[in-house]
Chain A
Amino acid sequence: MLIDVIIFLPLAAALLMLLIPRTSSGVLKAAALAGSLATFILSALVVPLAPNGVTQQVVPWITSGVVASYHVSLGGINVFFVLLTTFVAVPAVWAAWTYANATRLRGYLMLLLAFEWTLLGLFTAGNLLLFYIYWDLMLIPVFLLLVGYAVSPQARRAAWGYLIYNGAGGLILLAGVIGLVVQTHTFEVVGATSGLPAGLEWWLFAAFALAFLIKTPVFPFHAWMPDTYTQSPPPLVAMVSGVQSKAGLYGLIVFALPLFPNAAHAWAPLLLVLAVCSVVYGAFAALAQNNAKTLVAFSSLSHLGLVILALFAFSFSVVQISVLMIVSHGLISAALFLLLGFIEERVGTCELGSFGGLSVRAPRFGVFMLIASMAALGLPGLSGFAGEFLIFLSAWQTQPVFVAISLVSVVIACVYVLKLFQSSMHGPEKLPAGAVRDGLELRPREFALVAPLLAAIIFLGLWPAWLNDRVPASNAVTQASAASMESK
């Protein structure tokens, strides 16, 4: 019951906002923030359940033909995905307050909350039908926000790129899901030891993995990403990059790897190559960008490639380490994109070189930007370091060559992150015409909404074991890894 409340609270808040007149924007803002905040507080209460306490709820839903129940569960790994979602959603909704066109604010906030609902539903789904339903539903709020609420014509192109790429991924996943359930006759496949024919398993894993790689994204399926990340309104991209990009990784950990262990091993070499390509290509591509948002987008590609590397190296503690990296990346990219959004609001652009030296008049902004960028760079003491270091350590045991190549990205990351930070914050003050000179500093609301993200980044950097100890060790992926370690 508590799970349902958490999942549907954002949706309920969004629907309740229909009752509030469009013009009373103050009430709308408060309602949206209250909705996301209440969801976060509720979900935070669930943390003590980890690592082994799992709350399940199963209600019969479809009993004719292929059986499915309304099955949600919370506990173990997905607690952290749920927490990440609700935690990032609060600053995202809060940041959306400043949307300029007051008459259309309601739709904007409603769509953001609806997006949070689909993400929560995805991470708590206990069977493949619910997982797929939310997987596809996610497309709608993002598409509508890009079409209706982003300003530039490029944003509309980005909307199409997003829809067609992710729609294709979703349909490939649907093919995989149906291909599996015609064998099992039920959507309740979690924990089912499958006696699938090897050839079929190979194909099904391919379908699942392809869908998940598109969503993450991983090279070469990232074509939709730079446009979407650059053109989205900042609150949206904080959610897309901070949370939605983790949906594919979650799917791999919870569905694809445990369901098709043999095929996963068969496909691992190719996936490792793709992962390393993402890591290295993402780093170099980030280096070449002049737009700060696109730069962060490519660094995202690079960092999430590392998670794929960790997963398919089948080494020790894969799941704990991946979850740490995933949560850490979610916090960092959400913070960075929100801060870049504030810059764009002030100077009207995110093109590096057309502005600079912001920290002269905005020292606090400078400090916040510094923490977020250093975390992205992987500075020890911040969460980014903990995640990356453990991934390299773990994957080295089985795949030293791939890890060695990936290490290049660590060096490149220093270069592009410093480029981002220096050209925006350091040096003589440089502002494009029309930018507001006073009021460059973070306002109290902006300060308050980014601060928790940064605090969490520091917390996880100092005490990564807090998270690692709470991720269950007995996961099918871990078992598969252990088996492959022993066989070596």
Chain B
Amino acid sequence: MMTSVGVDYSILAPELALAAAGLLVLLLDLILRNASRWLLYTTGIIGCIAAFAFMLPLYGKTQSTLNGAFANDKFSWGFDTLLVLTLAVVFLLSSLKRAEDGGNPASYASLLILCTIGGTVMAGATNLIGIFLGIELLSLSLYVLAGTGFPRESSQEAALKYVMLGSLASGFLIYGSALLYGAGGSIALSALTKAAAVSSPLFIAGFALFVVGLAFKLALAPFHLWTPDVYEGSPLAVTAFMAVAVKAASFAVLARVAYTVFGHASDALIPLWALAILSMLVGNLGAIRQRNLKRLLAFSSIAQAGYVVVALAGVGASGLSSLLFYLFAYAFMNLGAFAVIGLVGDGSEAYADIDAYRGLFFRRPWVAAAMALFLMSLAGIPGTAGFYGKVLLLVQGFTAGPWGVALGISLIAGTLVSFYVYFKVIWQMFVPVEGEAPQIADGTAASWLAVGLGAAGVIVLGVLPQMFFTYVVAAPP
């Protein structure tokens, strides 16, 4: 059956707006010759706002274009919002005086935008090819960005490691997709439902490889080994982007697959639960010994990815909104924490060390209070977004049978370990210091804005979670 490919540009408008912003940034640099970072990043942020403006009419609708290959629905809208928001905050983080951009802010900015487009493509793609395209667009841009700390060696190392392991993961993913195509006879995810119901060996093998590929991107243990080094070596703003945007986009894919292909708790998903439990253990235990805050947050992100999977346990009716809620919470608290790290060190790498935070409360009370808020949210202390997120995850877990309960209990055990991890940093900040402590630089207004946004998000989601369900979740349970 051949139909002409009708293109509904309103659905593609957010991506097109971002692409236009990315090209505009490059053009500006070309025309103006060394345009200022301020101009370039402002253009990027305006692109984000434009993309969001184009997303507003799509709110709450379910529609698709490109012959059903690309959709706007409950799986994409919230994730897209999150991605665009993250990009805007990352631009703010990039504006620190000593923030690294590889000496070429224009290509840095356009790569960041390309990454985000990749993420939105992942969230909207409804077939295997679309998903792969999105992932590759995201990953390839990010490989380059990881190395923009040039000529710092750890940044080079990060880029190289990320390329090697990331390509391997892409290999798994594309091979898995090929097998899935063989099992389902179509690249459309909706066509895989039948194959999933039968659980043919071909489908199982394909799905397993597909999950392995995604697990690499999500940094689920045991596919997390690249994470600490890459997070530590990459420039701060890029690390923040990796921690939030890559996870959000990959979870969008995972959620779509879980709900479209399975639609209910299936035995084929058991390996995913096992990966999640392992991640919670590895992430939290691994974080205990870290003294570099970027590494600490890397391990933390491994554990948090494990937590988020709990939302999918049982593939329940309200699982998707719980997943989105936790991802938003995670985005606010992580972006906020990275913004504080940027403020403390003014973007330079030396100050990610925990010693720089000793007695911070008595030198810079507001910075320390903000950091304490983000860390408490990561630990799940009530009144913060992280707490209510964990409540939602636990509700999902405890309603989802034995595996769900196991996931819930490991979430609780992991959280207890993480108390030590996060409160160790809070402890450092509140311990009175004797003698001279390292002074910290004043940040730019932009980085203060990032801290403020993170803090506002953490508090609003924590105190008034209903606002999220009323205004963000397009399809309430």
Q: Which residues of A contact B (CB under 8 A)?
A: 61-66, 104, 129, 132-134, 136-137, 139-140, 143-144, 147-148, 156, 159-160, 163-164, 167-168, 171-172, 174-175, 178-179, 181-182
Contact = CB atoms under 8 A, between A and B. Distances in A.
A200 to B, nearest CB: 11
Interface in B366-396: 376, 381-383, 387, 390-392, 394-395
A65 B381 contact: no
B54 to A, nearest CB: 27
Contact of B321 (A65, A132, A136, A179): A65
Closest 8 CB pairs of A and B: A133-B382, A64-B469, A148-B430, A178-B394, A167-B419, A182-B398, A136-B382, A171-B412
A66 B316 CA distance: 14
A156 B477 contact: no
A133 B376 CA distance: 13
B430 A147 contact: yes
B115 to A, nearest CB: 32
B466 interface: yes
A235 B426 CA distance: 22
A178 B398 contact: yes
By secondary structure, the B interface counts as helix
Contact of A137 (B362, B381, B395, B423): B381
Given A144-B430, A148-B361, A163-B419, A175 B392 contact: no
A26 to B, nearest CB: 21
A139 B465 CA distance: 22
Given A62-B466, A147-B427, A171-B412, A140 B376 contact: yes
Given A140-B376, A143-B423, A178 B415 contact: no
Which of A66, A174, A181 lies at the interface centre, i.e. has the most chain B CB atoms within 10 A of its CB? A174
A148 B426 CA distance: 10
B416 A171 contact: yes
B476 interface: yes
B310 to A, nearest CB: 11
17 contacts: A62-B466, A64-B318, A64-B469, A65-B321, A65-B322, A66-B395, A137-B383, A143-B426, A156-B431, A163-B423, A164-B419, A164-B420, A168-B416, A171-B412, A172-B412, A178-B394, A178-B398
Nearest to B427: A147
B408 interface: yes
B395 A62 contact: no
A387 B259 CA distance: 59
Contacts of A159: 427
B399 interface: yes
Given A61-B466, A65-B469, A178 B391 contact: yes
B383 A178 contact: no
A104 B465 contact: no
A139 B318 CA distance: 31
Contacts of A136: 381-382, 387
Contacts of B430: 144, 147-148
A104 B419 contact: no
Which of B322, B412, B420 counts the most A-chain CB atoms under 10 A from its CB?
Answer: B412
Contacts of A160: 420
Contact of A175 (B318, B412, B420, B477): B412
A137 B399 contact: no
B453 interface: no
A136 B469 CA distance: 24
A3 B148 CA distance: 56
Given A136-B382, A178-B398, A178-B408, A171 B415 contact: yes
A159 B430 CA distance: 12
B16 interface: no
A62 B409 CA distance: 24
Contact of B476 (A61, A64, A144, A181): A64
B318 A65 contact: yes
A147 B382 CA distance: 20
Nearest to A61: B466
Nearest to B382: A133
A63 B477 CA distance: 11
Interface string B396-422: 001100000000110010011001100
Nearest to A63: B466
Contact of A182 (B361, B362, B383, B395): B395
Nearest to A66: B395
Contacts, number: 86
B432 interface: yes
A62 B419 contact: no
Nearest to A129: B391
Contacts of B382: 132-134, 136-137
* Interface band, chain B: 35 or more
A64 B466 contact: yes
B466 A167 contact: no
Contacts of A139: 381
Contacts of A147: 426-427, 430-431
Nearest to A181: B395
A64 B415 CA distance: 25
B398 A64 contact: no
Given A64-B476, A65-B318, A156-B431, A175 B394 contact: yes
B381 A140 contact: yes
B409 to A, nearest CB: 7
B258 to A, nearest CB: 19
B237 to A, nearest CB: 30
Nearest to A168: B416
A147 B392 CA distance: 32
A65 B477 contact: yes
Contacts of B362: 104
Contacts of A134: 382
A168 to B, nearest CB: 5
B449 to A, nearest CB: 21
Contacts of B394: 174-175, 178
Contact of B432 (A61, A140, A148, A179): A148
A64 B395 contact: no
A7 B361 CA distance: 27
A362 B125 CA distance: 81
Interface string B346-373: 0000000000000001100000000000
Contact of A167 (B399, B416, B426): B416
Contacts of B415: 171
A390 to B, nearest CB: 36
Contacts of A63: 466, 469
A65 B395 contact: yes
Which of B318, B381, B399 has the most CB atoms of chain A within a 10 A radius of its CB?
Answer: B381
Contacts of B383: 133, 137
B273 to A, nearest CB: 18
A170 to B, nearest CB: 9
A487 to B, nearest CB: 34
A218 to B, nearest CB: 20
A181 B473 CA distance: 22
A129 B382 CA distance: 10
- The residue in A143, A144, A156, A171 that gathers the most chain B C-beta atoms within 10 A of its C-beta is A171
A413 B427 CA distance: 38
Interface in B412-456: 412, 415-416, 419-420, 423, 426-427, 430-432
B381 A148 contact: no
B241 to A, nearest CB: 30
Contacts of A148: 361, 430-432
A164 B361 contact: no
A108 to B, nearest CB: 12
A178 B466 CA distance: 18
A65 B412 contact: no
A175 B408 contact: yes
A143 B379 CA distance: 14
Nearest to A179: B398
A168 B414 CA distance: 11
Nearest to A60: B466
B407 to A, nearest CB: 12
B81 to A, nearest CB: 18
A163 B427 CA distance: 11
Nearest to A135: B382
Nearest to B317: A65
